[in-house]
Structures are given as C-alpha cells and as structure tokens.
Amino acid sequence: AQVPAFYTVTTASKHDSTAMSSIHYEPNAYYIFDRAYDSFKELYRIHLTDSFFVVRAKTNLKYKTVKWKRRIPKHIMTNAEVKLTGYLSEKKYPESFRLVRYHDEEDDCEFTFLTNAKQLSALDVANLYKKRWLIELFFKWLKQHLKIKKFWGTTENAVRIQISVAIITYCLVAIVQHDMKLKRSTYEVLQILSISLTDKTHLRDLFDKTNFNDVKDLNEPLIPGLFD
C-alpha cells in the first residue's frame, strides 16, 4: 500500500494550487500535479530546490518553442524545450522547460505535460503522470472503508481532527501490512485489526489465525465505519 507523505485540508472555495506553497519540497524528488496546480511561481520553486515536477498543461498556455526533438517514439506527438511568453508567467518561471504531448491509445485522448526533468524520456514523463492515479485510489479507499458519515463536531478544528484520524488509521494499517509482509489487502488488514482491538494476541500470530481466512469474502464491514 502507498502511504501519503503530505496532506492538507482546505475549504472548498480555496483553489488547489494554493496548497503548493505548503509543501516542503525535497531535492531529487518528483512531484506530479494535475492541471489545477498551475502556479508557475511554485513550479519554479520546485526547480530551484533541485527537484522535479510533471504537471498537466492548460489548453491556453502561452509559450514559444526553443528546441524540437525530431526523433520521437510511438505515442509521443511532441517532445520540445519551451519558454513561457505570458508577461506574468514568464516572470514567475524565467527558464525553459520541456513540453511533452502524449497520445493515450487506450482512451484515444491527448495529454500535454510540462516538466523540468530533462533527463527523462518522453514516455517516462507520461508514465510518471499516470502514477498520480494512486492519489485518486487513495481517496477512493478512504471513502469506501473509512466512511465519515457523520461529523461529531462541525468546527474547522473538529473536521480537521476527524479527517486526520481517518488518514492516520490508513497509514498505520499500511505500515503494518508492509512491515509484516502480509499477503492481504489493506482492507483485510483493517478489518482484522478492527475486530481484534481487545485481543491480546501478538500481531504476527493474529494474522496467522485460520479463522480470518474468509475476511476477503465479506461484502459488508464486520464493524461500523470509523465514524459511525
């Protein structure tokens, strides 16, 4: 299971890109963003920290091509070095970066990516962006298995605490799953731990018990959701 390294909670009215300023960027790390995260000021900050970004470009992006790559592999429509031409955007990101246009054969659609990772192949850039789907799968998992049907408090602090508890629960379960090399899904591990809260059995012995073999076949949770 994947464990999140960072999260933030904002109001619905706050633009996604504002969260970028809260991230502590680490050198040599890769940061993958959807097109909503279009703050060139923050993207340039990533570049200056010797880390890398891959972000999906907006359709109204203004730029000029500095250099083309003529030999491009299948599914890659464009692999070029570009520079921003918009007055404000050029000030926020004064250097050149790569633009990769990729055709997804499966969905028959086109994606345009911006990246400062000049050492990667164009296909690697497209494949890195696909990794962003792990975030969507993480949220889907939270919604399915740690259902927050009812907030016990409605203040900002109360909501933050309840969301944090759900994320911490996921992380702890994922760490147990990873460290113990369990051949069970994260959901199965959560279910077994949930019904064994008062059991004094050692974790290793707990997951070896044969009476838990059919957990994965259950359609309904064994106990109410985390916040039921």
Percentage of the chain beyond pLDDT 90 is 40
Q: Is 120 helix (H, G, I), strand (E, B) or coil?
A: coil
Same domain, 23 and 125: yes
Is 84 in the same domain as 33?
yes
Residues 190, 153 within the same domain? yes
Other C-beta atoms lying within 10 Å of the C-beta of residue 126:
20
User: And the tokens for 103?
Assistant: 């055709």
C-alpha to C-alpha distance for 173 and 189, rounded to whole angstroms:
7
Is 214 contained in some domain? no
Q: Is residue 62 part of a domain?
A: yes
Task: Please state which of the ranges 16-20, 64-68, 100-104, 208-212 shows the lowest mean pLDDT.
Answer: 208-212
Please indicate, yes or no, whether residues 152 and 115 belong to a single structural domain of this protein: no
Q: Is a pLDDT exceeding 90 seen at residue 128?
A: yes
- State pLDDT tens for residues 83-105: 999 999 999 999 999 999 999 98
Domain count, the chain: 2
Same domain, 127 and 151: no
* Environment class of 24 (CB within 10 Å of its CB; exposed 0-12, middle 13-18, buried 19+): exposed
Domain annotation covers residue 9: no
Per the structure, the complete domain to which residue 173 belongs is given by: 147-209
Examine the fold and report which residue of 71, 100, 132 is the final residue of a domain before the chain moves on.
132
Whether 52 is in a domain gets the answer yes
Q: Do both 193 and 109 map to the same domain?
A: no
Strand locations in the chain (E):
30-33, 52-56, 63-68, 76-84, 97-104, 109-115
| pTM for this entry | 0.75
